[in-house]
Amino acid sequence: RRTHSLQIDEDLFLLCPDEDEPADLFNHSCAPNCGIGGNILLVAMREIQVGEELNFDYAMSDADDYDEFICECGEIGCRGLITGADWRRPELQSAYEGWFSNYISAKIRQDSSALDPVSEQGL
């Protein structure tokens, strides 16, 4: 049974193989130490200590509500409910600028230009 995936485009997900692999061990955190490089690379956002759990915020790569869940990361500022729309939150866009997957970065640009009347008029 496949339980882990990474969204890389609309309706396109990279699935983990059936057998366990290291990618199965990466969890969500509302205060992540890793971000996304490109679409599939996990990149350290800061120095990571030996033995420290590697984690990332699913808002960096996920825009689908297939995996909505109650977060139990325990971090200060935990969002509580994690959804596929979290990437739209201005505070996350600011905090994770440069750490979103290419897919989510493109969605942010598309959303921003849709809200910008100047770009709509081509001025």
* Domain definitions of the chain by residue range: 5-121
How many residues are given for the chain?
123
Q: What is the pLDDT of residue 30?
A: 98
pLDDT at 84 over 50: yes
Handedness of CA 14, 97, 112, 75 (dihedral sign): positive
Predicted local confidence at residue 1, as pLDDT: 32
End-to-end alpha carbon distance in the chain:
51
Highest-scoring range by mean pLDDT, 3-7, 21-25, 72-76, 117-121? 72-76
Neighbours of 9 (CB within 10 A): 13
> What φ, ψ does residue 50 adopt, rounded to 5°?
-55, 130
Instruction: Tell me the whole-structure pTM to 2 decimals.
Output: 0.76
pLDDT, position 65: 74
